Amino acid sequence: MKKISIDPVTRLEGHGRIDIFLNEAGDVANAYMVIPELRGFEKFAQGRRVEEMADITPRICGVCPEAHHMASTKACDAVFHIDPPPAAKKLRELFYSAFFVADHTVHFYILGGPDFVIGPDAPVAERNILGVIHKVGTEVGTKVIEARGKAMDIIGMLGGRKIHPTFALPGGVCKKLSEEERKQVEKTAREEIEFALFTLRLFKDVVLANKMYLDMILSAPFTMPTYYMGMVDANNKVNFYDGKIRVVDPDGKEFVRYDAAHYLDVVAEKVEPWTYLKFPYLKKIGWKGIVAGKDSGLYQATPLSRLNASDGMATPRAQEAYEEMYATLGGKPVHNLLATHWARLVELLYAAERLLELSTDPGITDPHVRNLPTEKPTEGVGVVEAPRGTLTHHYVTDERGIVTKANLVVGTTNNYGPISLAVKQVAQAVIQKGQDITEGMLNRVEMAFRLFDPCFGCATHTLPGTMPLEIRIHDEAGNLKEVLSRNL
């Protein structure tokens, strides 16, 4: 059996490789998304004061520290049995909406964009952000830099710094919003709405107008019916910061709707010895392997999943974009994986609109931004929607508030099973016996994981099994004398 490795895979956060195995006839027998890195933050948490977790866990990732900061703080609220005042909740969501604008902009233009703006078969040297700017124009590149920069300015203003913020605290936040700052956020929000609308137009003009890419979106290898997970408000509309977690089945019917504290009643994790990353699945369905469909416990937690799991968007222009996407693709739910990029842009618009709603809320400048904890700390769960999917932080403490146990289920962990299956499906479709294997073929395989916007640095925390290892022993002349291997 022949093995092809894509190592490392590119344009993602963290490190991973794809191993593709060909049978004797030259067809793909199997493919694996292998995650060879270990971070161990759940172990690092033990013995620390729980209120430190909101400063520690953002260090998991420099791309989405805001997500870990917010999930951790919400978990600490629960640990201390404290409810933040209204102004604090609004400021947290305002901060988080700015983060979504910045993060979705990065993925669309820098990580995912080169595949469908430049094309999967373009030379590697051109398939990057510079190639995107060259194709769509330097004025677009300027818009992207400005839009992301202004969103990050809001994060820096509230968070004290733009990366690894120190903003939210158990029971509230550490900074109120002045009227002058509120006006600046409102101005930025209006600009971000225009940028999101511009990006949706660009997507239609450059991507949907390209028959090759449209055919790829609709193709069988990039189609995967699964269960879908996402946070919704009381009206089943998408919300990133607060709400209940809703899961729908491949037909779009509600499977379960649960509070954050009950996540362990819904989700379990499967361990495999060949990777550091675990495979979550729905407990009620059970682990059926890396397969799709209604009988499989696998679920997706992505921008497209959030839209599939919801009944719409809570802001007007995003709702229009939502309706247009589903009308174009034939109704809900959509199982076309590459439509995740489109859904990401619908969310970009929603985040910008929500930023405007919050910045014009009369209560956003209320100086009362924290309720001090008074109860004995115990146990708590905090959940937000990270751009990559549902993010859960769960802390158990002793009576002094020292963490005795921590569990983190991050967006990419939720998606590991679907990512692995998508890689296999696409590999089997593009690699055929008798064909020369080109870089373009392998890049299409990479597109199957890249659409999930994975963050493997976030996702790998505990040691589930034994990793593959190969040791090559050479003599003093450099001659290979022996090869020792394990789990290869």
Q: What is the pLDDT of residue 456?
A: 74
For residue 360, being part of any structural domain is answered with yes
Tokens for 399, please give them. 């009576």
- pLDDT in 10s for each residue of the chain, 488 residues: 788 888 888 777 777 888 899 988 888 998 888 877 676 788 889 999 999 999 998 888 777 899 999 999 999 999 999 999 999 999 999 999 999 999 999 999 988 888 878 888 888 888 888 888 888 888 988 999 999 999 999 999 999 988 889 999 999 999 999 999 999 999 999 999 999 999 999 999 988 998 888 899 999 999 999 999 999 999 999 999 999 999 999 999 999 999 999 999 999 999 888 887 889 999 999 999 999 999 999 999 999 999 999 999 999 999 999 999 999 999 999 999 999 999 999 999 999 999 999 999 999 999 999 999 999 999 999 999 999 999 999 999 999 999 999 999 988 899 999 999 999 999 999 988 777 778 888 888 899 989 998 887 676 644 444 444 456 677 777 788 777 665 54
Phi-psi region of 306 (alpha: psi -120 to 50; beta: other; left: phi over 0): alpha
Q: What is the pLDDT of residue 463?
A: 45
For residue 470, being part of any structural domain is answered with no
174 known member of a binding site: no
Give the Cα separation of 145 and 386 in Å (integer): 22
461 known member of a binding site: yes
Tokens for 408, please give them. 């983190």
| Closest by CA position to 381, among listed 394, 390, 391 | 394
pLDDT digits (tens, 9 = 90+) for 278-337: 899 999 999 999 999 999 999 999 999 999 999 999 999 999 999 999 999 999 999 999
42 known member of a binding site: yes
Partners of residue 268 on adjacent β-strands? 281
Beta-sheet pairing, 299-300 with 279-282:
unpaired
Concatenate the DSSP letters of all residues of 186-213 into one string: HHHHHHHHHHHHHHHHHIIIIIIT-HHH
End-to-end distance of the chain based on CA atoms, in angstroms? 13
68 known member of a binding site: no
Q: What is the pLDDT of residue 471?
A: 60
pLDDT digits (tens, 9 = 90+) for 253-264: 999 999 999 999
Whole-Å CA distances, 165 to 45, 92, 228, 456: 18, 12, 30, 21
The answer to whether the predicted template modeling score (pTM) of the entire model surpasses 0.85 is yes
Give the Cα separation of 397 and 47 in Å (integer): 9
Give the Cα separation of 79 and 402 in Å (integer): 11
Residue pair 410/386 in contact by the 8 Å Cβ criterion: yes
For residue 23, being part of any structural domain is answered with no
Provide the CATH number for the domain around residue 222. Answer: 1.10.645.10
Tokens for 243, please give them. 């709400």
For residue 118, being part of any structural domain is answered with yes
Q: What is the pLDDT of residue 462?
A: 45
For residue 21, being part of any structural domain is answered with no
pLDDT digits (tens, 9 = 90+) for 94-103: 999 999 999 9
For residue 152, being part of any structural domain is answered with yes
Give the Cα separation of 254 and 119 in Å (integer): 37
Compute the chain's Rg from CA coordinates.
23
- In terms of residue numbers, what domain contains 328? 39-459
Number of domains in the chain: 1
Residue 200 CB-density burial (10 A; 0-12 exposed, 13-18 middle, 19+ buried): buried
76 known member of a binding site: no
Give the Cα separation of 122 and 114 in Å (integer): 9
pLDDT digits (tens, 9 = 90+) for 410-422: 888 999 999 999 9
